[in-house]
Amino acid sequence: MERNLRPNSQDFKLDFGNPQGKTSETWHGGIATIFESPGDEVWGVVWKMNKSNLSSLDKQEGVKSGMYVPIEVNVSTQEGKEITCRSYQMTNYERVPPSPQYKKVICLGAKENGLPPDYQKKLNAIEPNDYKGKVSEEIEDIIKKGEAKTH
């Protein structure tokens, strides 16, 4: 897989929620989605992959269960190239803040991938919910490794 760093999607905004009102048992709070919002932008990482992997990605993102629908989004890379990408938009969601752990994973990913400092500040300013319980060991490991890389 090949990646282009720091692309942004114009006129979209990041949001968090629970699909169909069902709380994430993995993340214990809202999970990410995007929605159209003129004047806003979402920054991230684009991965180039083979179309034969789309069904696997759709499965991972919960398309079959109706949690997310695939959408096409036009993005601008840091080199100024316009490309059309596949993204996922949550369906029928209730807006819910992310858990502190989910927010941390999002912020660590933004830092590790060199997203613009102003956008990182926006992510860091997101108010998480008050979940103080445990998350899986796998997620804890992701957080520990991410913190070690970015400090």
- How much is the pLDDT for 115? 93
Q: Considering its fold, how many domains does the chain have in total? A: 1
Q: Identify the domain containing residue 64 by its residue range.
A: 2-150
**DSSP 8-state symbol, 52:** G
**Residue numbers in the chain where pLDDT is lower than 70:** 1-7, 150-151
Terminal C-alpha separation, the chain:
26
Reply yes or no on whether 61 is catalytic.
Answer: yes
Annotated catalytic residue, options 2, 61, 79, 137: 61
pLDDT in tens, 21-46: 788 889 999 999 999 999 999 999 98
Which domain CATH number covers 80? 3.10.490.10
- How much is the pLDDT for 1? 46
- How much is the pLDDT for 110? 94
pTM summary value: 0.87
Task: Give the start-end residues of each E strand in the chain.
Answer: 2-4, 8-19, 31-43, 46-48, 68-76, 82-90, 93-95
**Residue 88 labelled as part of a binding site:** no
